[in-house]
Amino acid sequence: MKIGNFSKGAKVVAIAAAMVVTGTVAQAQSVNLTGSGASFPFPLYSAWFKDFGQKTGIQVNYQAKGSGGGIEDFTNGVVDFAASDAAMSEEELAKIEGGVVMLPMTAGEIVLAYNLDGVSELKLPRDVYPKIFLGEITKWNDAEIAAANEGVELPDETITVVVRSDSSGTNFNFTNHLSAISSDFESKVGGGKTVPWPNASNFVAAPGNQGITATIKQTPGAIGYIEYGYAQQTNTPYAMLENQAGNFVKAGPEAGSAALASAELDENNVAFIVDPAGDDSYPIATFTWMMFYKDAGQDAAKVDALKQMIEYGLTTGQTMADKLGYIPLPENVVETDKKSMEEIGG
């Protein structure tokens, strides 16, 4: 669908709306948990909640409707927890009576996935890929792309740029990275969960990581930004990106861990890494958070179930991360989370 015309996106929207995971209940249950938000960690959370449900009988219903939608649900008090790749802002936190506990639960990398027949390896310099998302480079055989890919036969084909149509934490992290490495991008588009993308004929929009992935797969010549695990699971090629040190790096567990190495959480357990240093660091990596109510008036059984779910995610859940395309949390972050979760429920 073209920017500003979403009528052709019904099928993709339907896919996104169907992204609801339910933990399998192996035992009689007395507590159900409901959450919503980020699509970025959905494949990992889906695996967690299924296994957690089988082991505990606690059913977790999670709807991957995007980080902005999850924060909205959390603010309206219609979920037990939310998930977002963009930690809540001070303004958003102020709307929650009783306070919020934010916990980084996993981390991942954002890759530039593409659909280019016959091109299995592609390098994109850091002064080039912002121009693609500014609509300034529009052909795959552009001289600036060709210069970084000697020997690769790039087609004389229009680049279809796929961007998010919904309020998105993946969008937040990707556009803040582009703003950090390109003053032109910062001044013309900027960073945020939603941004004013160029109103260009080669830009299309889709909801969720799953919607972007599906659109890239269906559109020859397309490029878009998705979580690494989505590219892995759908066998979608993704580019090597030039990092701050000038090295071309491919996303993966080692490059992602190198990017997180310098992160320091603040008093709200928040750290954004918009342009990580280090020879081996992949340039676009982020934590992703779950949000819980501090309010002491919550049902005690539900608070206990939430803490069981968090404990599972910080222990057994971390062992699943690498296989599904995510970065296991550093040990110091796990310990910080375990202390902070005691604040849930007062």
For 216-233, how does the pLDDT look when each residue is reduced to its tens digit (9 = 90+)? 999 999 999 999 999 999
Please enumerate in sequence order all residues whose Cβ is within 8 A of that of 268, keeping only pairs 6 or more positions apart, or say none: 87, 93, 102
Residues 136 and 241 in one domain: yes
Residues 155 and 213 in one domain: yes
Distance CA 10, CA 248 (A): 37
Residues 218 and 177 in one domain: yes
pLDDT in tens, 290-343: 999 998 789 999 999 999 999 999 999 999 999 999 999 999 999 999 999 999
Say if 22 falls within a structural domain.
Answer: no
Residues 102 and 128 in one domain: no
Mean pLDDT, the chain, integer: 91
Residues 205 and 332 in one domain: no
Q: How many domains does the chain have?
A: 2
Identify the CATH number of the domain in which residue 137 sits: 3.40.190.10
Residues 102 and 158 in one domain: no
The answer, as to whether pTM is greater than 0.75, is yes
pLDDT in tens, 50-93: 999 999 999 999 999 999 999 999 999 999 999 999 999 999 99
Say if 227 falls within a structural domain.
Answer: yes
* Host domain of residue 123: 109-260
> What band does 18 get if pLDDT is binned at 50, 70 and 90?
very low
Residues 132 and 254 in one domain: yes
Say if 278 falls within a structural domain.
Answer: no
Q: How many residues does the chain have?
A: 346
Say if 300 falls within a structural domain.
Answer: yes
Residues 63 and 139 in one domain: no
Say if 256 falls within a structural domain.
Answer: yes
Tokens representing 178? 């582009």
34 torsion bin: left (phi>0), alpha (psi -120 to 50), beta (else): beta
Sign of the C-alpha dihedral computed for residues 11, 12, 17 and 22 taken in this order: positive
Residues 79 and 99 in one domain: yes
> What band does 27 get if pLDDT is binned at 50, 70 and 90?
very low
Q: Cβ distance 202 to 135 under 8 Å?
A: yes
Say if 337 falls within a structural domain.
Answer: yes
Pairing assessment for the beta strands 81-84 and 285-293 based on DSSP bridges: antiparallel
Please enumerate in sequence order all residues whose Cβ is within 8 A of that of 125, keeping only pairs 6 or more positions apart, or say none: 144, 148, 242
Last residue of a domain, one of 212, 243, 260: 260
Say if 301 falls within a structural domain.
Answer: yes
Distance CA 321, CA 312 (A): 13
Residues 216 and 121 in one domain: yes
Residues 42 and 158 in one domain: no
